[in-house]
Amino acid sequence: MRSPSIELRVTELESELQKIKFDIIGVYETRCKGEGCFILNNSGHHLYYKDGNIYNGVGFMANKNIAGNITNFNGVSGKVAQLTIRIPKRYLIKVIQVYLPTTGHTDEEVEMVYEDVDKLLFTSKASYTIHMGDFNAKVGIGNTFESSTGPYGYGTRNSRGDTLVNFAEHHQLKIINMFFKKKQTNRHWTWISTNKE
């Protein structure tokens, strides 16, 4: 179910999508009720979503050119969802979208989300698995003894960053944006924590 305000946001999103090339985009704070998929009116792209309120809701925007390759959407919660894509005929890619609570939430809430992500790793087979989303963590500059981090982190790690790195290390995952040098810009963040953590 979509409200007029959601319809407006979808229209704005469609306008922005015309400026980029993409196959799959992870989205959060969707604020759509229930679970489902709808086709955007102007572009024909597909939006998969799992329920949300003012604080959550996750999903995926799938380009109309690959929408026929999607074999499954599994909305686990308003914080975790999975999309399975067949590319080409014999490979399955499992994409897990995550929206972790901010530092204002308890560690127990964060652990529950990680448990949901953990279950998805083992519930279905895939050739490749990609985790993406907003982990609300500062990983900082990587350490040489960590296989999950690279040399291009930014700032200082916080406790949620420790949790993310431990999760990645445990599952032999890579935090990919730390393995590539980014261009210098003034846009290193879009939000600053009120408690400065």
- The CATH code of the domain that includes 67 is 3.60.10.10
Report yes or no on 190 lying in a domain.
no
Number of domains, the chain: 1
Is 154 a domain residue? no
Element (H, E) at 8: helix 4-17
Listed in sequence order, the residues at least 6 apart from 80 whose beta carbon sits closer than 8 Å to its beta carbon are 58, 96, 97, 98, 99, 113, 116, 117, 120
Distance of CA 166 to the CA centre of its chain: 18
Q: What is the mean pLDDT of residues 40-47?
A: 88
* Residue 114 near residue 160, CB atoms below 8 Å: no
Query: Does 121 reside within a domain?
Result: yes
Mean pLDDT of 109-118: 92
In a domain, 196, yes or no: no
In the chain, % of residues over pLDDT 90: 42
Please check the confidence at residue 30 and state whether its pLDDT lies above 70.
yes
Q: Is residue 179 part of a domain?
A: no
Whether 21 maps to a domain, the answer reads: yes
Q: How far is residue 186 from each of residues 155, 177, 183, 189, 190, measured CA to CA in Å?
A: 14, 17, 10, 9, 10
Domain limits for position 12: 4-136
With respect to residue 112, please indicate whether it lies within any of the assigned structural domains.
Answer: yes
Residue with tokens 């003894």: 145
Res. 4: pLDDT tops 60: no
- pTM of the shown model: 0.84
Single out the residue of 71, 2, 192 nearest to residue 13, CA to CA.
Answer: 2
71 lies in some domain: yes
Distance CA 73, CA 54 (A): 22
